[in-house]
Amino acid sequence: MQKLITLFLSLLVCLLSINSAWAFAVPIQIIPEYNMKKYDSVINQIYQNPASHSQNLVTRINFDSAYFLGKSYLMFPTGEGPDAYFDKNPLYRTDVFDCMTYVNTVMALAYSNNLTEFQKTLKQLSYANGEVMFLTRHHFVTGDWNESNTQMGYVQDITTQLKTANNISPVRYADTIINKPNWYRMMSPERIRVFFYPGDKQAKQLLSALRDQSSEVSAVKISTPYIPMSAFLTSSGQPDMTLFKQIPSGAVVEIVRPNWDLTRYIGTHLNVSHLGFAIRTSQGLMFREASMDKKQVVDIPFASYIQSLNELDPTEGVNILNTHEFSVF
């Protein structure tokens, strides 16, 4: 009898394993259902603090960005909401971030005065013309986000304005082509986020439809101004504070990797690998970021961060986008 029970359990495990393999023949991501009320509650709580209504944008950004210190890192945590076709992740959330969603959330908070304004501003920051679709999402920092939000007046590129002690601009330019069509054609099935597995046939149709979006976009030539990491350091590798002092608190700082070749993995080159905020605190100038390495939102001394990046890859640099005061204040 014991042998029969053992055999039955073995067969059951085998069948479950086979069924599980079938269920994920197309490895799209199954996400839990959620209630936006818990995120909205946090947003409303933030707006109860007087700092979130300051007449000074930098004060707002400093406060709003600090509120999320310690929150966990998660890549691609947001989508187009429960009614979306490809990515049903929440439009925004307050518990986890990647670098871009962190910047979008903080800026939307800072440029708004209440939940309704926040939702509208977030759409403008994250999507072309504020139209919420996977196709119109600002997937690329250069080629999407920078251009759109500069045009709308949220940010201004001030990289070329920084000068060395000799009043010389150390700026270089990173030129690349963002191959959006190829990026779509190579789209991983994991980018599809749904509440339940729809079956192999429909999952394949979803992936095919997502990749077919390649016909709706074009490759874009990008030229990104950046200051090399070495320009921030002395010949002995120590921080030269001349440039650091010119970085405004609340500015968006982007880590530039010139013509970064990711074609093998995502079908295109990129120019920017990471972004966060420059924040001046009592401990000095910090780089406030949703960090994949640290697995959370953290403050890192900006000078030390530049030193470490320079040691890893001296060809990298930073692009600096200053934030703009708006009439919401």
| 25-82 tens-digit pLDDT | 889 999 999 999 999 999 999 999 999 999 999 999 999 999 999 999 999 999 999 9
pLDDT score for 29 = 96
Give the fold, CATH level 3, of 26-323: putative xylanase like fold (2.30.260)
- Residue 166 CA: distances (Å) to CA of 135, 172, 230, 243: 46, 17, 15, 11
Q: What phi, psi does 193 have (nearest 5°)?
A: -125, 115
pLDDT cut 90: percent of the chain above it: 88
Residues of the chain by 3-state class (helix, strand, coil), percent to 5: 40, 25, 35
pLDDT score for 189 = 96
Across residues 166-175, what is the average pLDDT?
A: 96
Check pLDDT > 80 for residue 327. Answer: no
pLDDT band, residue 20 (cuts 50/70/90)? very low
pLDDT score for 10 = 42
Residue 19's H or E segment, with its range, is helix 2-23
For the stretch 217-259, pLDDT in tens is: 999 999 999 999 999 999 899 999 999 999 999 999 999 999 9
pLDDT score for 289 = 99
pLDDT score for 77 = 98
Check pLDDT > 80 for residue 85. Answer: yes
Cβ contacts of 37 within 8 Å, gap of 6 or more: none
CB 276 within 8 A of CB 249: no
Torsion angle defined by CA atoms of residues 224, 98, 322 and 58, in that order, rounded to the nearest 10 degrees: -170
Cβ contacts of 167 within 8 Å, gap of 6 or more: none
pLDDT cut 70: percent of the chain above it: 91
pLDDT score for 25 = 84
CB 275 within 8 A of CB 101: no
CA distance 108 to 16: 45
For the stretch 98-150, pLDDT in tens is: 999 999 999 999 999 999 999 999 999 999 999 999 999 999 999 999 999 99
pLDDT score for 150 = 97
pLDDT score for 13 = 35
CB 158 within 8 A of CB 322: yes
pLDDT score for 326 = 59
Look up residue 282 and give its amino acid: S
pLDDT score for 24 = 66
∠ CA 302-307-312, rounded to 5° = 125
> Taking all residues of the chain, what is their mean pLDDT, rounded to a whole number?
92
